[in-house]
Each structure stands twice: as C-alpha cells, then as structure tokens.
Amino acid sequence: MRKRILDWCAVGLLLPLVPGCGGSDGKAGSNGSDGVSALIATEDEPAGENCEGGGTKVNYGADSSGNGKLEAKEIEGTRYVCNGAVGADGEAGPTGETGPAGDTGADGEAGPEGATGSSGADGATGAAGPQGPTGAAGVAGPTGAAGVTGAAGVTGPAGPAGATGVTGPAGATGVTGPAGATGATGPAGTTGATGPAGTTGATGPAGATGATGPAGTTGATGPAGTTGATGPAGATGATGPAGTTGATGPAGTTGATGPAGATGATGPAGTTGPAGATGANGASGAAGFNSLINTGSEPSGFHCIQGGVKIVVGLDNGDGNGTPNDGTLQAGEIDQTSYVCTPGARRAFLTSVGYAADMGGLSGADAKCQARAAAVGFGGTFKAWLSDSTGSPSTRFTQSTTPYIRPDGVQIAANWAGLISGSLSAALVIDDLGNTGFGGVWTATNADGTSYGTDNCNDWSNPTSGVARIGVAQIANSWWSNYNSGPGCFNGFPLYCFEQ
C-alpha cells in the first residue's frame, strides 16, 4: 500500500487531482537555551514577624528576563538578616574636657521698678570735710621791656644722628591727572597682500532691449547658389498583368520557438494526504543550573565599618573550573556579592565618576550613588547630597545620631548636627574606590543641608544652559557644600553620597 502512495506522489505534478502525499519526517528540535545569571536584591525589613527588631530582606533568583534586575516573578527564595537585640548600656566613658565658655547672653529686660522704701533714721553727723582747694591766682602784671640781646654763643659740636623714625603711612593716592594729548598719527602701514578673489556673484537680470538701429545699406549680390535637390518622383503607373506562378522554392529553415504561453489556471487542490511520520525528537537542550546563595559574617572593615553579613549568590554551573550541579557555591560561580552592615557609623564618599547635569532629578542622582555603592560592595541605602525645587538633604536624609565616616574610616562629622554645623571634621575627599579626589562637586545645597535656590540646572534636567551651585571636595569649611555658582550645566562633576 505504501508503494502505491509513493507512485501517486511521483506523478502528482502532472495530475493535480491526485490525493495529497504523506509529509516528510520533521526536523530535529533545536538545543535548549543556556542558563542565566543569578541576582540578589535587598530591602529594609520592618520590625515584625520575620525580624523582631527589623533588619534586611534578601530576595534571590535567576535573571530569566536578562534585564539585570530581579523582578517579582524571578524570585526563587527569600532570606532575612535581622538586627540583633539592643545590647546593655556600656560603662560611662570618662568626662570630656570642659568646652570653651559660650558667648555672654544678651541682657534681660529690666524688671519693674520696686516700691519706694520708708525713710531711714537720721544718720550721725559726719566728720569735718578736707580743706578746700587754694583759690585761683590773681591776674598777671604787665610784661616788662625787653633787655638787650647778648652776643651769640659759640656753636656746640653736632650731636649724634638720631635713629631713623618709623615710616609714616602711605599717603592717599592722588587724583588722576588729565589725559595726555593724542599722539601724532603714525605712518601708514604697507599695503597688505591681495586677498583671494571672491566667488562670482549671481548673474543680474537681463537689461531692457535697446532701440532698433537704422537699416544698413544693401550689400553686394552674392554668388549663384548651388543646384537644388531633385524633385519628388512622379506617380506610379498602373499595375501590369500578373505573371505565371513560379516553381515552389525549397522549404525554409524552422523558425525560432515562440514565447511560452501564459500559465493556465491552477486546478483544484487535491485531497489532503495522510500525515507523514513524526520527525525524530530534537536533541535535549542543555540542562539549566540552580541558583545558590550563601551568607556569612563580615568582619569590621572597608565593606562594613561595624561588621555585618556578607551575602553571595550565583549559578551552580561550574564556572572557574568548579564542579557543576554539586549543590555548593564555589568561588568561580559567584555572580553577585552584597553586604548587610550592622547599624552604626554612616558612610559617606565622593563618587569616582563625574556626571553631566541632566541626572534625572534627585531620584536619578540617588540611583547613581546607589550604583557606585553596589559596584564596590557597600551594603545599605545611599542618597546624593543634592537639592532642587523638590527637596534637599534637610528634607530627604535620615538624620543620623551616629558619626559619618569616609571609606578610609576618618570621621567627617559626629552626627547630623555636626554635618550641618557649617564645617566638617575632615574634608570629604575619599571616593568609592578609596582614592583621593579634589575639585568641584554638584550640590545646589547650603552647608546646613537646605536648598541653595534655583541654581540647579532646571532641577538637574538641563545639560546645555544655566549654572549650578557647587562645593569643593578638598575644603572642610562651609565651602565643602556651598562655594559658587560659576560652572555651566554642560560640565561634568562628581557627587557626595551619604548612607541613610
């Protein structure tokens, strides 16, 4: 029976009404897609069922969408890193040195006048007073006549020269004198070289036609012209009688084949043939890999000033010469590392990257600070020391009661009050990579954390016009945040970033 079907198929092109032929085997399926990277995302966990004293919620999973963000549908697991219980109060530290006395306060308002007291008893008679002053001298008598002038005495030797007196203050600058007369005109300079010829100007409009001039004299008669062309042939005469038919000539060669005729209309479709045999299954795709997460203690240091928890996540894919699918997250398989730090000192740093003014507002600047912190493994939430018409550090920041420190551990302020006091304990010059920076920093912020005003590149959205207020990284006085508004918005400057 199968042979017969094959025969029908062989002639199917000639007989459009034959039954349809069986399909050929399907193609092998394509290999499955490779695995994807693992991601981790942290967020604050309020005090409650999961963490009695609050803490950090850690979500992890594979980046199946490939966009580098851990979306809700990609979360495979959640862990919590909880804050420890509040420890007992430590022993009181030694009493600090007495600070300098504060300025004397302004005098208070005068109290109301008291009632007049009763008259006291008469006092005893006082001792005799001292003798009064001598009376004024009488008027001097008239001056006597001048005596005769005596002879001049011998001139004594010259005394030693006195010490040079102190130089007196410089005299005031004199009034500017009148302007001098204009000098004579100098000789004329040599004539400069002739400049290149200018481009040819456009053709002007045609002038009006001039008046017709007088007729010229008749010229001499020219030579005779050449003979004219032959005239047209006369009409054809009447046809003569037909001659006898000549012998048949030899057959001519076959003419070239004419063009193919138009294709005829398509005949009706034949009935559908039986389904072909199912094609072989494609090769199985490569097996995906599980995502793994590990947590461990992080000692006090660069990533966490007070210590904390280190979180690593990755795929169990054997990268770095490891063993795939062994259920152990090896060093070469780690895709991301994050830190959840013990609450304590708050970190602050200068970004190692400069940014154009169109940062997308305050939220865009905050995202840049968070990205730099994540790039070096700083846990926590970071915001930019930046202001515009929508907010400022004084309204956006968590106002810490603990110190603010640079990545190198140096304290810049004892707390929020110290941060906005007008000067820092040390300049904020260390960037997220641990290097020393310098120069201008975008701020638009007064040293007390309030907004400077409108010098903010149209709320940090305009990179081409206007100016913005900057601070100076290597200065610890109020200029660290509020220096001047000179730079244009087309410049690129780093940001100050503070942990919340």
Q: What are the structural domain ranges in the chain? A: 35-82+289-343, 346-499
- Residues with Cβ < 8 Å from 400, sequence gap 6 or more? 346, 415, 416
Number of helices (H) and strands (E), helices first, in the chain?
5, 15
pLDDT value at position 62?
81
Per residue, what are the HEC states of 321-363?
CCCCCCCCCCHHHEEEEEEEECCCCEEEEECCCCEECCCCHHH
* Other beta carbons less than 10 A from residue 292's beta carbon: 22
pLDDT value at position 428?
98
pLDDT value at position 3?
33
Give, as one character, the DSSP assignment of residue 74: G
For residues 472 and 496, give the distance between their C-alpha atoms in angstroms, rounded to a whole number: 10
Beta strands in 37-155 (DSSP E): 38-45, 55-62, 77-82
* Correct CATH for 346-499 of 3.10.100.10, 3.40.190.10, 3.40.50.1980, 3.40.1010.10: 3.10.100.10
Q: Are residues 288 and 324 in contact, defined by beta-carbon separation less than 8 angstroms?
A: no
Q: Measuring CA to CA, which residue among 65, 80, 58, 39 is closest to residue 315?
A: 39
Q: Are residues 461 and 360 in contact, defined by beta-carbon separation less than 8 angstroms?
A: yes
pLDDT value at position 262?
77
3-state percent helix, strand, coil for the chain, nearest multiple of 5: 10, 15, 75
Q: Which two tokens stand for residue 139?
A: 């008027």
Q: Which two tokens stand for residue 3?
A: 């042979």
Residue pLDDT tens, the chain, 500 long? 333 333 323 333 323 333 334 445 445 445 445 556 777 887 878 888 888 877 788 888 888 788 878 888 989 888 887 776 655 554 554 555 554 554 544 555 555 655 555 555 555 555 655 655 655 544 544 554 544 544 545 555 655 655 554 544 654 554 555 655 655 555 655 555 555 655 655 655 655 655 655 655 555 655 655 655 656 765 666 666 766 666 666 766 766 776 877 777 777 877 776 876 776 776 765 667 888 899 988 887 777 777 778 898 889 999 999 899 999 999 999 998 888 877 789 999 999 999 999 999 999 999 999 999 999 999 899 999 999 999 999 999 999 999 999 999 999 999 999 999 999 999 999 999 999 999 999 999 999 999 999 999 999 999 888 899 999 999 999 999 999 997 889 999 999 999 99
For residues 484 and 98, give the distance between their C-alpha atoms in angstroms, rounded to a whole number: 37
Half-sphere exposure (CA, 13 Å, Cβ side) for 382?
A: 27
Q: Measuring CA to CA, which residue among 303, 347, 345, 348 is closest to residue 441?
A: 348
pLDDT value at position 12?
35
Residues in the chain: 500
pLDDT value at position 454?
93
Q: Are residues 22 and 275 in contact, defined by beta-carbon separation less than 8 angstroms?
A: yes
pLDDT value at position 313?
87
Does the pTM of the predicted model rise above 0.95? no
Q: At 4, phi and psi to the nearest 5?
A: -65, -40
Q: Which two tokens stand for residue 472?
A: 């100076």
For residues 156 and 441, give the distance between their C-alpha atoms in angstroms, rounded to a whole number: 77
Q: Measuring CA to CA, which residue among 38, 63, 33 is closest to residue 286?
A: 33
Q: Residues 391, 397, 401, 405: is their CA dihedral positive or negative?
A: negative
pLDDT value at position 236?
64
Q: Are residues 460 and 447 in contact, defined by beta-carbon separation less than 8 angstroms?
A: no
DSSP class per residue in 20-38: PPPPPPPPPPPPPPP---E
One-letter identity of residue 363: S
pLDDT value at position 22?
45
